[in-house]
């Protein structure tokens, strides 16, 4: 009897919903959920949230207070629908400020606690800059779990694992976007997809050296990328692609499998090595900078929306 691809994927990979849409989460029953400024903005624009967000905006001390209140409000409701983690992002504006990232992360955890959501349920999302990775190292030492996002290179992944972060989110689709722009006629389907190749390299490195950091592929452009990464620790998937998987039947082959650690980890990268390697990777440098700008742009739109609602 044929089975849908989504149920087969759930048997080998922890499926995570990449959305703040509560109805989609209820429909697809993922284990975890992730959000980012763009997804929070999408949720905030819906009629469902308008009156509640207006109330939050009117009772906030400033715009940063309002932004974090909105993120935690949505995240708290999401936490009631999933048994696992809810990822909530620190402001992209703080991507190059370790101390400010630490302060904002601690504040988010405190806000969740006031909603009755413990730190064991939350992943604080931080951009995988050098400063963000340093902040994540300290947060993990304090018992605050982290999800390092906007990750486009093996160098970023190595530094995250060395820092002991809970989870990394290598971006598959945005890597593909960059290569397609460089070589429009090239065949990037299936295993030729550079985003898929990046996740596989990171996964094999982590498992081969005994790192405990979870690999969660993110930012998918098509179902083929997901199929090519079946077996990865976690995959965070949009509602549209979750729907495609649920409606597609056939045999899903496991493509990634954990293995016992073969060798001890290499020496950790220092700051100079990290920055040089990232600089040498044009794709990763460009997509990291672009990602921070895009998240910040959506944050500004959310700020404007909250400013309008504050006056209602």
Q: What are the residue numbers of the active site?
A: 125
**Residue 165 CB coordination number (10 Å):** 28
CA distance 172 to 183: 17
Place of tokens 């020496």: 267
Q: Are 88 and 70 in contact (CB under 8 A)?
A: no
Quick one: which of 14, 276, 7 has its CA closest to 167?
14
The two tokens of residue 148 are 């390092």
**Angle value at C-alpha 128, between 70 and 272, nearest 5 degrees:** 145
Q: Are 39 and 20 in contact (CB under 8 A)?
A: yes
Q: What is the dihedral of CA 258, 256, 133, 94, to 10 degrees?
A: -150
3-state helix, strand, coil in the chain (%, to 5): 60, 15, 30
Residue 177, helix vs strand vs coil: helix
The two tokens of residue 229 are 């990464």
The two tokens of residue 262 are 């073969």
3-state secondary structure 40-84: HHHHHCCHHHHHHHHHHHHCCCCHHHHHHHHHHHHHHHHHCCCCC
CA distance 70 to 45: 12
CA distance 47 to 291: 27
User: Any idea what DSSP says for residue 238?
Assistant: -
The two tokens of residue 26 are 């209820």
């Amino acid at each position: 009897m044929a089975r849908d691809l989504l149920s087969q994927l759930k048997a080998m990979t922890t499926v995570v919903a990449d959305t703040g849409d509560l109805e989609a989460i209820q429909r697809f029953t993922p284990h975890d959920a992730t959000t980012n400024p763009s997804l929070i903005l999408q949720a905030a624009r819906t009629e469902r949230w308008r009156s509640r967000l207006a109330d939050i905006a009117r009772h906030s001390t400033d715009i940063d207070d309002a932004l974090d209140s909105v993120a935690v409000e949505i995240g708290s409701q999401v936490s009631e629908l999933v048994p696992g983690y809810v990822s909530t992002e620190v402001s992209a504006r703080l991507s190059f400020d370790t101390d400010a990232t630490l302060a904002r992360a601690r504040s988010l955890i405190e806000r969740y606690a006031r909603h009755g959501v413990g730190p064991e349920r939350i992943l604080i999302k931080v951009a995988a800059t050098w400063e963000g990775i340093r902040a994540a190292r300290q947060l993990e030492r304090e018992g605050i779990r982290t999800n390092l996002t906007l990750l486009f290179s093996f160098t970023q992944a190595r530094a995250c694992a060395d820092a002991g972060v809970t989870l990394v989110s290598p971006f598959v689709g945005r890597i593909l976007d960059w290569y397609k722009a460089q070589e429009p006629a090239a065949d990037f389907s299936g295993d030729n997809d550079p985003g898929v190749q990046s996740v596989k390299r990171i996964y094999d490195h982590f498992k081969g050296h005994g790192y405990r950091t979870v690999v969660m592929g993110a930012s998918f452009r098509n179902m083929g990328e997901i199929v090519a990464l079946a077996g990865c620790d976690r995959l965070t998937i949009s509602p549209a692609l979750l729907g495609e998987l649920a409606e597609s039947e056939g045999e899903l082959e496991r493509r990634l499998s954990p293995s016992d650690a073969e060798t001890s980890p290499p020496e950790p990268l220092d700051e100079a090595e990290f920055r040089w390697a990232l600089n040498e990777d044009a794709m990763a440098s460009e997509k990291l900078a672009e990602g921070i700008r895009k998240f910040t742009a959506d944050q500004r739109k959310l700020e404007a929306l909250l400013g309008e609602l504050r006056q209602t």
